Amino acid sequence: MRRLTALAFALLIAIGSAADARTRHHAATPAPAAATQPQATAEQRIEDLNWLVDTLKAKYAYRDKKNIDLDQIKTLYRDAAEKATTPAAWLALVERVVAELYDHHATLAGTMTTRRN
């Protein structure tokens, strides 16, 4: 979950870079709950979904130009976040949330590596 949350955060950084960097103020955003836990609980996944949507509401460059109800996205994907118990399921959920932006500039980027013991 930590890597997937990092991917979501990388997305937010990429989205924010579309705005004029000279006039933006970067407020510290607390890390999502799953970033500090090896296995996220349903409550943490819902908290992470809320964090992602709240961050999009605050920092998405085109939020004023698009008619997207981000609060409805929280409601719409709450059950899916609760049930996304694997990293693949969580990534699929984040991809669906990003797709709700209908913006080809908004993508997930990063690397997923496997750890060998």
Q: What is the pLDDT of residue 5?
A: 58
Work out the pLDDT band at 112, boundaries 50, 70, 90.
Answer: low
Residue-range domain boundaries for the chain: 2-20+32-99
Query: Which token pair is 56?
Result: 């999009």
pLDDT in tens, 78-96: 999 999 999 999 999 999 9
Q: Distance between CA 74 and CA 23 in Å, rounded?
A: 29
Tell me: the pLDDT tens digits for 24-55?
A: 444 555 655 555 446 789 999 999 999 999 99
pLDDT at 117 over 50: no
Helices (H), 17-99: 42-59, 70-83, 87-99
Question: Which amino acid, one-letter code, is at 73?
Answer: I
pLDDT at 30: 60
